[in-house]
Amino acid sequence: MSQSVRFSYEFDKNTGLSGFPMLELSLFYKGRNSVVNGLVDSGAMVNVLPYSIGIALGAKWEDHLPLDRLGGNLSSANVRALKLQGYNAQLMINKTFPLIFAWTDTDNTRVIFGQMNFFQQFDVCFFRAEQTFEITRR
């Protein structure tokens, strides 16, 4: 049986709001890595990656398949599919896991871990009153 790991919600210094389920992951692509702090969002249909993080990982925009536009405040952004490997030592010791992102052509977003495919890799329970969330590997 998989072991669950509990994380605390984080205070958002930019908005002054408290209580966001943020998760730190290392992302890997073609020998490069970047540590990101992303929002675990059960209401998001896809994982979202800002443009500059994809570039920092060595991805080339024109090499990736275009996707349909996203909704909401990212509806004007162009989007490409980008498959990365993720790692968090608390979730999986010495093992990465695949993450597919909607890589946007803007930095006007944060990293988001959504239904496709973060929630396909992990079960997530939110405990809002306790300001914690729990992640279990499937």
Please spell the DSSP secondary structure of 95-115, one letter per residue.
--EEEEEEEES-SSS--EE-T
Q: Does residue 100 contact residue 82 with C-beta atoms inside 8 Å?
A: yes
| Domains and their CATH numbers in the chain | 4-8+22-137 (2.40.70.10)
Evaluate if residue 1 carries a pLDDT over 60: no
Question: pLDDT band at residue 43, thresholds of 50, 70 and 90?
Answer: very high
Question: pLDDT band at residue 73, thresholds of 50, 70 and 90?
Answer: confident
Judge if pTM exceeds 0.85.
yes
